[in-house]
Structure 1
Amino acid sequence: MTTFRFYKSSYSGSQGECVEVAQNVPQVTAIRDSKDPAGSHLIVGAGAWASFIETLKADESAAL
């Protein structure tokens, strides 16, 4: 069984409405809702996650 170690971003607020990410398993990234840690989670390829994050960063830069 795979054990993911989830963490929240240091940018997360204290309202508890956060996305948690686990990157401790090679080749995959797991994502879950912090309000439901025992619930289901989404697993994507590490490359897909990296591309998603880069797109978010580019969109944020374009909005400035």
Structure 2
Amino acid sequence: MELTGAKWRKSTRSSGNSGNCVEVADNLPDVVGVRDSKDPSGPALVFARAAWRAFVTQTKNN
């Protein structure tokens, strides 16, 4: 999947982790991209928006 135009951002909770963070691009139509902040030119995972919402909701509830 082409992620050209993705605007990557780190979570505000990522500070203080010595750079061990993920970045999320949620400005893309229909998908959310996730990548390792230490390797921005490396591979990225792509999730359907509904799957990403379910993941975030479940994570917040645990």
Fold match by TM threshold 0.5: yes
Match of 2:35 in 1: 32
Instruction: Give the TM-score normalised by the residue count of structure 1.
Output: 0.85
TM-score by length of 2: 0.87
Superposed, which structure 2 residues align to 1:1-64 within 5 Å?
Answer: 2-14=4-16, 15-59=18-62
SS in 2 for 1:48: helix
Identical aligned pairs, as a percentage? 42
Higher-Rg structure is: 1
| Gaps in structure 2 of 5+ consecutive residues | none
**Count of residues paired in the alignment:** 59
Mapped to 1, the partners of 2:44 and 2:28 lie a distance apart of: 14
Structure 1 runs (4+) deviating above 2 angstroms are none
